[in-house]
């Protein structure tokens, strides 16, 4: 079975479409697993929700999804993110609001746990340090956990009860078999690791191979739509630097 793991689309339709095209070019997948934050920051929340429904994704909820539907206090967001959340709320139909508001916080798929933030705090915690990974290995039972939220492609394996960072790059696959692993596929719609290309991963159960992929997309098209929508300038500028 082949699965595409996508996270933090953030209403960036151009990036989302580029990722789906790339999946098709790579031979397609049997399932899509989405790790939340479908909306927020970006200019096309409704179209991204529709596309997500069209490809029949297993999707969990992210903090921006909850913020946009009034289920997470905007005090949890920085000012630009809160402004984008409020703008997003105004774009959503009642059906979109229901869809986002009803997404689960965690999903188990066989040997994989899917969460947005962390197993310990599924919506809000960032797993971006060895100590956070170490703690979180105690909070799930399955072998592997896919997380989003930080927009950083990162992986930690559990070795002798300790978390150890694992280098992730598009050229090197990660075999998910011998150790428990927490892994983040990076962000489709707002990468923050200095590479502005959309980030996602494909897991192939033949060979237990997890592989990261980076996909160029029309950043300017998304930025133009954000300008037209009047979204905060720092959110527009950061897309081209991937920070």
Stretch that binds Zn ion, among 29-37, 51-59, 86-94, 171-179 (CB under 5 A): 29-37
Single out the residue of 22, 37, 125, 158 in contact with Zn ion (rule: CB under 5 A). Answer: 37
For the CB of residue 149, give the shortest distance to Zn ion in the complex, in Å.
6
Report if residue 125 touches Zn ion, rule: CB under 5 A: no
Give 11 or 133: the residue with its C-beta nearer to Zn ion. 11
Tokens 């009860």 — which residue? 161
Terminal-to-terminal C-alpha distance of the chain: 33
Of the candidate spans 1-9, 106-114, 164-172, 209-217, the one that interacts with Zn ion by CB under 5 A turns out to be 1-9
Supply the minimum distance, in Å, between the C-beta of residue 80 and Zn ion: 13
What strand order describes the sheet that includes 209-215?
58-59, 31-34, 2-6, 198-204, 209-215, 174-175
* Whether the Cβ atoms of residue 88 and residue 45 lie closer than 8 Å to each other: yes
Tokens of 3: 């699965």
Residue range at the interface with Zn ion (CB under 5 A); choices 3-11, 26-34, 42-50, 96-104 = 3-11
The only residue of 3, 5, 6, 8 in contact with Zn ion, by rule CB under 5 A: 8
Stretch that binds Zn ion, among 33-41, 45-53, 70-78, 139-147 (CB under 5 A): 33-41
Q: Of 58, 81, 72, which Cα lies nearest the Cα of 101? A: 72
Compute the residue count for the chain: 243
Distance (Å, whole) CA 148 – CA 159: 22
Dihedral pair phi/psi, residue 228, rounded to 5° = -60, -35
Kindly state the smallest distance separating residue 211's Cβ from Zn ion, in Å: 22
The position carrying tokens 């989405």 is 34
Q: Which residues bind Zn ion (CB under 5 A)?
A: 8, 37
């Amino acid at each position: 079975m082949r699965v595409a793991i996508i996270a933090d689309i953030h209403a960036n339709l151009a990036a989302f479409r580029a990722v789906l095209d790339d999946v098709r070019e790579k031979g397609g997948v049997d399932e899509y697993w989405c790790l939340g934050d479908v909306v927020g920051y970006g200019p096309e929340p409704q179209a991204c929700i529709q596309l997500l429904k069209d490809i029949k994704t297993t999707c969990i909820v992210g903090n921006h999804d909850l913020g946009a539907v009034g289920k997470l206090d905007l005090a949890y967001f920085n000012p630009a993110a809160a402004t984008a959340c409020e703008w997003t709320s105004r774009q959503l139909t009642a059906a979109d609001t229901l869809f986002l508001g009803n997404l689960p916080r965690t999903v188990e798929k066989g040997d994989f746990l899917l969460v947005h933030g962390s197993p310990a705090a599924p919506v809000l915690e960032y797993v971006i340090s060895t100590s956070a990974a170490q703690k979180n290995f105690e909070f799930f039972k399955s072998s592997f956990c896919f997380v989003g939220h930080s927009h950083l492609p990162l992986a930690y394996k559990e070795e002798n009860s300790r978390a150890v960072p694992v280098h992730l790059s598009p050229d090197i696959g990660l075999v998910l078999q011998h150790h428990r692993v927490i892994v983040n596929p990076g962000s489709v719609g707002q990468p923050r690791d200095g590479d502005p290309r959309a980030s996602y991963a494909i897991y192939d159960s033949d060979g237990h191979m997890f592989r990261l992929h980076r996909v160029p997309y029309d950043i300017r098209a998304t930025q133009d739509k954000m300008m037209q929508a009047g979204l905060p300038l720092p959110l527009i500028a950061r897309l081209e630097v991937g920070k």
